[in-house]
Structure 1
């Protein structure tokens, strides 16, 4: 089956820097451990992709569209099709006091976020901090090895995959998909997660594009603890207190 823009697919991948063949990203847990880039907070599994959304480097998206399910592919991406060229204007000198105001002691290699921009400290000298706001992959030629493992057809599985893509997990969420709208019942976790508002914004766009709907609703449920539950909790506390006295 041909892959086209708007499809939701899953890919297994390995990403390398061509200069020294360093593996810098992968969906394979064992390879991540071997390369010393394992992150215990990352979910190692085939990655969901909304094809044509611009969420991947253009060169990689083009290669995915040109591939078949189950086919192992390798593509070389020059900077203009990957992280872009390095821009000297994105390297800035900032006063060290701006960091110390936030109780941050800068050092080379420190990753920082300043005014919603992510950068890396490259040097600290004479009260000045040099920060590079270029992407770490800017100016790099990349190599991707990938396989499209499936094209997701089931609407509910599509919605879950889009949530995994934009928030990192779909656990505890539920969906109701209609012809003109999508309802998303929220999990308990996201109610108190400061990362959720931005993820929600991205999810709305992805759901609209995928299902062709105008309306996306988010449903929160806050269940009041009944008096019976309160009394049970009180009994447990009293029992624990009695046992501690013994």
Structure 2
């Protein structure tokens, strides 16, 4: 049975450029290591995807609507429905001096930010730099090797999946308690000061209200008062030694 729009599924996939075979994204740790992509900060685990909601590039998303749990296949995505066709108008020459102190550090192929836009350095010479503001994979056909693992149907399945998607912590540190239509979500202390925590809460709330029957969410943060340690008592002998030392 194929999926409906809004279905929540778990899948593993590896994405690569068709004409070069370059792997640039994967949910599988072994694949990441094999292709020199491994990142210790990345959570390698099946990806949660909502079908037809634009969580993936258009061509990949559309193709998943015609898959079923247990399918293992390679999906080909055209440039138009992937990262877009190349636009010559997004390739520009700028003065090298515009890079300021970083001018001597920049090399061809580097991705840098100029005028609040990220681009790739294509050429350096004669005091100028050619910047390509197209997406790195613009104009490329993408292949996705995909394994459809599971469809999440109950609230008890969906809630952990949503929390894993949005909280940048180990799975064992994610804690929640569901009581009817109310859920208490414990925020791990290691992300109390994390940048964008309010956005994490916003997206968790948005997804839980959209995909489950939950009507109320309580985010719980537990803060402890770390009292200063009591001063250690100085023994009588130590006091005498200190007094003697002062006199000498």
1:52 aligns with 2:52: yes
1:209 aligns with 2:206: no
Other-structure match for 2:145: 145
Other-structure match for 2:245: none
Instruction: Give unpaired runs (5+ residues) of structure 1.
Output: none
Shift of the 122–9 alpha-carbon distance from structure 1 to 2, 3 Å rule, reads: same
Query: So what's the TM-score if we normalise by structure 1?
Result: 0.76
Shift of the 163–170 alpha-carbon distance from structure 1 to 2, 3 Å rule, reads: farther
Q: Does structure 1 conserve the Cα–Cα contact (< 8 Å) formed by 2:11 and 2:147?
A: yes
Alignment deviations for residues 55-107 of structure 1 (CA, whole Å, 9 cap, x no partner): 10122112222111111122111111111111223334444444336798322
Structure 2 distance, partners of 1:138, 1:178, is 47
Alignment deviations for residues 140-183 of structure 1 (CA, whole Å, 9 cap, x no partner): 10111111111123424423322333444464343455777765
Q: What secondary structure is seen at the aligned counterpart in 2 of 1:74? A: strand
Q: Does structure 1 conserve the Cα–Cα contact (< 8 Å) formed by 2:164 and 2:174?
A: no
Structure 1 distance, partners of 2:220, 2:104, is 39
Q: How does 1:102-113 map to 2 (within 5 A)?
A: 105-113=105-113
Other-structure match for 1:193: 194
Quote the RMSD (CA, aligned, Å).
3.3
Alignment deviations for residues 209-245 of structure 1 (CA, whole Å, 9 cap, x no partner): 2236687554433221256xx33xx66xx9xxx9xxx
Query: So what's the TM-score if we normalise by structure 2?
Result: 0.76
Bigger CA drift: 187-196 or 12-21? 187-196
Other-structure match for 1:80: 80
**Number of equivalences:** 233
Shift of the 168–222 alpha-carbon distance from structure 1 to 2, 3 Å rule, reads: closer
Instruction: Give unpaired runs (5+ residues) of structure 2.
Output: 239-248
1:119 aligns with 2:119: yes
Structure of greater Rg: 2
Other-structure match for 2:6: 6
Q: What secondary structure is seen at the aligned counterpart in 2 of 1:222? A: coil
Structure 2 distance, partners of 1:201, 1:118, is 27
